[in-house]
Amino acid sequence: MSQSKSAIKHDTLFDKPFTTPLDKAARFSFDEQVVACFPDMIRRSVPGYGQVLAMLPIFARRHCKYRQQDDNGQRVSRIYDLGCSLGAASMTLAGEFEAQDLQIKAIDISPAMTTEASTLLSENYPEHDIEVITADIRDVKLEPCDMVILNLTLQFLPAADRVAVLENIYNVLSEGGILVLTEKTHAFDEQYDAWLVERYYDFKRANGYTEMEISGKRNALENVLITDTLDEHHARLSDVGFERHLTWFQFLNFVSVVAFK
Ligand SMILES: C[S@@+](CC[C@H](N)C(=O)[O-])C[C@H]1O[C@@H](n2cnc3c(N)ncnc32)[C@H](O)[C@@H]1O
Ligand SMILES: O=C(O)C(=O)C[C@]1(C(=O)O)C=C[C@@H](O)C=C1
């Protein structure tokens, strides 16, 4: 993928002393500053990020069966990329499918993200039917679809809103379709959780983050990124109607679950 304006910036967002977590301005947000270094940040901060992305087209090949129709009446597979950020998941899918086979709808609440995602996707895949939409995924009316990707997005919604978003997804997925839900989690057992969190910080250290950057980001994410346990995710998927869902990927405290309609 080529970056539109400049080379990807190195993430140095938290390399200065941080303010208190009560300072609203210090809260993590997906603004222009984050957009500028996002590919570097997510690659160095999320264990297995590239591996999860690489599996999405492989899952799509098995589960997307041209069940939908585009505006010209052509049979297509419709995929939602919810909380798309710069469109990395959409980009990976477009790279593995012919333009006429897919209709991708990539949605994000951050205009800074969607502006850059639109540029990147249209520059790299001008022939593909990819719509980038700036919206809150709690408000959008989804259309019938074959696959939904929630890659590190649900964790940023207030806990009380998560069921409704998953219910909407369940209702619009076609029979045979899938939801791929990737999340940062915490372990119920405090000792296991402490071990996982410490090894996660080791992972960040190994990727070049300093102690100040690690603690600054932790403060900024407090009450912004709210994790559930893996059991809570599975229970919620059952509650909204998914009868079958399994954890297909886990790397430290990051997991990915596939739910089958
Ligand atoms: C960690 S990023 C997702 C990464 C991306 N899916 C990827 O694979 O590269 C989380 C994204 O969710 C978006 N987001 C958070 N709350 C949202 C909401 N209510 N509606 C839509 N997008 C939301 C943020 O703006 C941010 O871009
Ligand atoms: O938990 C952390 O410290 C992270 O950096 C994780 C995480 C994520 O899971 O989305 C948080 C914010 C950025 O979007 C990139 C990675």
Residue ranges of domains in the chain, CATH in brackets: 24-260 (3.40.50.150)
Residue by residue, DSSP assigns the chain as ---SSSSPPP--TT-S----TT-GGGS---SHHHHHHHHHHHHHHSTTHHHHHHHHHHHHHHH--S-EE-TTS-EEEEEEEET-TTTHHHHHHHHHS-GGGEEEEEEES-HHHHHHHHHHHHHH-TTSEEEEEE--TTT--PPPEEEEEEES-GGGS-GGGHHHHHHHHHHHEEEEEEEEEEEEB--SSHHHHHHHHHHHHHHHHHTT--HHHHHHHHHHHTTTS--B-HHHHHHHHHHTT-SEEEEEEEETTEEEEEEE-
Which pLDDT score, from 0 to 100, does residue 26 have?
Answer: 74
Which residue puts its alpha carbon closest to atom 10 of ligand 2?
152
CA atoms within 13 A on the CB side of 232: 16
How many residues are there in the chain? 261
Which pLDDT score, from 0 to 100, does residue 1 have?
Answer: 47
> How far is residue 256's CA from residue 181's CA, in Å, rounded to a whole number?
6
The set of residues, in sequence order, having a beta carbon less than 8 Å from that of 205 and lying 6+ positions away, is: 214
137 lines ligand 1 (CB under 6 A): yes
Which pLDDT score, from 0 to 100, does residue 11 have?
Answer: 86
Cα 141 to Cα 71, 133, 203, distances in angstroms: 17, 12, 38
> How far is residue 120's CA from residue 126's CA, in Å, rounded to a whole number?
10
Which residue puts its alpha carbon closest to atom 15 of ligand 1?
156
16 lines ligand 1 (CB under 6 A): no
78 labelled as ligand-binding? no
113 lines ligand 1 (CB under 6 A): yes
Which residue puts its alpha carbon closest to atom 8 of ligand 2?
152
Residue listed under structure tokens 């909407």: 168
> How far is residue 47's CA from residue 192's CA, in Å, rounded to a whole number?
17
11 lines ligand 1 (CB under 6 A): no
85 labelled as ligand-binding? yes
List per-residue pLDDT tens for the chain, 261 residues long.
444 555 678 888 887 665 555 565 578 999 999 999 999 999 999 999 999 999 999 999 999 987 888 888 888 899 999 999 999 999 999 999 999 999 999 999 999 999 999 999 999 999 999 999 999 999 999 999 999 999 999 999 999 999 999 999 999 999 999 999 999 999 999 999 999 999 999 999 999 999 999 999 999 999 999 999 999 999 999 999 999 999 999 999 999 999 999
Q: Does the interface predicted TM-score (ipTM) exceed 0.95?
A: yes
Which residue puts its alpha carbon closest to atom 2 of ligand 2?
45
Residue listed under structure tokens 């399994």: 246
